[in-house]
Amino acid sequence: MTRLSESVDRVTRLLDAADFASEESVRGLLIETAQRRTLDLSDLESSEQAALISARSQEMQPSSDAMAERIGAARKDGRPFVAKFGIDPTGAQVHLGHAAPMLVLSRFQRMGHHVVFIVGDITAKIGDPSGRSDERPPLTDEDIARNLATYRQQVAPFFDFDRARFRYNGDWLREVSLPKIIEIAAKIPVSMPLQREDFRKRLDAGQGLSLAEMLYSVVMALDSVETGCDVEIGGIDQFLNMQMCRKVMDICGQTPELVVATSLVEGTDGTGAKMSKSKGNYVPLTADAAEIFGKIMSVPDRLVEPYFKALSEWQDSELAVAAQRISAGTLHPMDMKKLLAGEVTAAIHGVDAAMKAREEFVARFSKRAFGEVEDLPLATDVDQPLLEVIKALGFASSNGDVRRVARQNGLRLVAEAEGEQDQVTLSYDDARETLAVLMADKLSPDNGERYLKFGRQLARISMT
């Protein structure tokens, strides 16, 4: 029996019988699944390794069998099997949307393979055009240096950098000569990048498309040539870029890399859009434990299973056991979502921090009496429009964030007296009024303490 199968057996026994409304049961499960994130997987056979990777891939090229064969061949030849992942520092924060392929990459590391994490300090100057409707504003060297400052620290929960290489593609791309680029580009038909749907849409709509953007995937492919990688991991939005990597490796006389493309992580707002800094529907890896827990608890229920698959080490058989218990009524869906929030929080901050965040969340949102909750932020300037009050509290960064929460009926005024509550749902138009006017119009004058609820966030309103 492998170490992974032993862990799955232990978790399955917990899932079969434990009461996950119990803090003790939750802690026991999180300890087991958190340990799995560093579990040595080198005792898996090549076919088992490929199957484990395939289970969390949306696309794998050429196939799972091809991966098993290549892993086996590397073992037989006594050479390292090299797995590559790249990210461009186009922003200062790494978020959970990046974590899905990084988690797959970490599995390769724990299988005993050689991992290369590439930061695209040169490719960031072009900007990945995948899925964009317009050209990305160019970044300066100063922008890139500022964004790079904490990248390694942010992704550290997913890797042991003592056993991995952390590289910048500027180290070799600055040395690439024009004759080399021409030699490669001459063997790539223009029709290949123009097959991309996002490029065709932009051209059809009369949007700009620069030659640099068309060359992005070719430049990115030189990272694969430099590292001589066996496999590249990325989101499904990178699939066509990774196809170009295979093409360029072949042109350069190398065996084309295998491709593992993971599903995109949907954003927390439930609109169906992928998690993105530009859309504001993301969870940064730099967030504290309470924020991560709360943001995961705010996602629609339909995202619980996809998030488990993308962001945790849970296996399909374990999710099936949990689903059976939910169907049987012995596991509440809300307790399952709290397990997910704890799982993701523990991955970044550890089990103790995850349990503390869970405790605070339950205290803040599960008790009927908000007056029992300590350390609530205080809304003091009631003569400001509610929009400005919400942003001053840090609950939202833009009016668009407020509009979205209001449309989901998540913007409320609450009055509480002697444990009894009166809640009033507010519209986005209401939020343009001052908080004082809204309280006077919407709440009775003698019904106790006042609170502002914004999605899963809560603030006490100053009455002085």
Residues whose CB is less than 8 angstroms from the CB of residue 427 and which lie 6 or more positions away in sequence, other chains included: 406, 411
Count of alpha carbons within 13 angstroms of residue 316, beta-carbon side: 7
CATH class of the domain defined by 378-461: alpha beta
Q: What are phi and psi of 123, to 5 degrees?
A: -65, -25
Distant-in-sequence, close-in-space partners of 371: CB < 8 Å, separation ≥ 6? 416, 449
- Residues near 278 by beta carbon (within 8 Å), at least 6 away in sequence: none
Domain 43-262 -> CATH class: alpha beta
What pLDDT, on a 0 to 100 scale, did the predictor assign at position 94?
Answer: 83
- In what order do the strands lie in the sheet containing 164-168? 59-61, 258-262, 231-235, 82-87, 114-119, 164-168
Q: Which residue has the higher pLDDT, 443 or 198?
A: 443
- Higher-confidence residue of 417 and 331: namely 331
Contact between residue 46 and residue 72 where contact means Cβ atoms under 8 Å apart: yes
Boundaries of every domain in the chain: 1-39+283-366, 43-262, 378-461
Q: In this model, does residue 355 exceed pLDDT 60?
A: yes
Map residue 234 onto helix, strand or coil: strand
What would the pLDDT profile of 146-161 be if each residue is shown by its tens digit? 877 777 788 888 777 7
| Other Cβ atoms within 10 Å of 179 Cβ, number | 8
Query: What confidence score (pLDDT) does residue 133 get?
Result: 47
pLDDT of residue 422: 80
Across the range 290-294, mean pLDDT stands at 93
Q: Are 349 and 21 in contact (CB under 8 A)?
A: no
User: Are the C-beta atoms of 188 and 247 separated by less than 8 Å?
Assistant: yes
Average the pLDDT over 173-200 and give the result: 86
Least-confidence region, from 105-119, 232-246, 275-289: 275-289
Return the pLDDT at 248: 96
Q: Which of 184-193, 316-325, 397-406 has the highest mean pLDDT?
A: 316-325
Q: How far apart are the first and last CA of the chain?
A: 66
| E-only strand ranges, 75-203 | 82-87, 114-119, 164-168
The phi-psi region of residue 36 (left if phi > 0; otherwise alpha if psi is between -120 and 50; otherwise beta) is alpha
Q: What is the pLDDT of residue 128?
A: 63
Indicate the helix (H) or strand (E) that contains 423.
strand 420-425
- Among 418, 367, 434, 394, smallest CA distance to 426 is for 434
Q: Give pLDDT, residue 424.
A: 86
Beta-carbon contacts of 382 under 8 Å, excluding residues fewer than 6 positions away, are: 389, 434, 435, 436, 439, 461, 462
* C-alpha distances in Å from residue 237, one per residue of 101, 196, 310, 417: 12, 11, 15, 51
- 8 pLDDT above the threshold of 50: yes
Structure tokens at 121: 């300090």
Lowest-confidence pick of 65-79, 263-277, 414-428: 414-428
Q: Please state which of the ranges 96-105, 192-201, 337-346 shows the lowest mean pLDDT.
A: 192-201
Give pLDDT, residue 134: 52
CATH architecture of 1-39+283-366: Orthogonal Bundle (1.10)
Residues 459 and 451 sit within 8 Å (Cβ to Cβ) = yes
Q: What's the pLDDT at 228? A: 95
Q: What is the mean pLDDT of residues 128-132?
A: 58
Identify the band that residue 366 occupies on the pLDDT scale cut at 50, 70 and 90: low
Q: Report the pLDDT value the prediction gives residue 84, as an integer from 0 to 100.
A: 95
| Per-residue confidence band for 137, with pLDDT thresholds at 50, 70 and 90 | low
Average pLDDT, whole number, for the chain?
Answer: 87
Q: What is the pTM of this model?
A: 0.77
Summarised one tens digit per residue, pLDDT across range 59-71 is 999 999 999 999 9
The answer on pLDDT for 360 being more than 70 is yes
Distance of alpha carbon 290 from alpha carbon 292, whole angstroms: 6
Q: Which two tokens stand for residue 1?
A: 């029996």
Residue owning tokens 């003592």: 162
Pairing of strands 411-417, 449-454: antiparallel
pLDDT tens track for 42-60:
999 999 999 999 999 999 9
* Rounded percentage of the chain residues whose pLDDT exceeds 90: 48
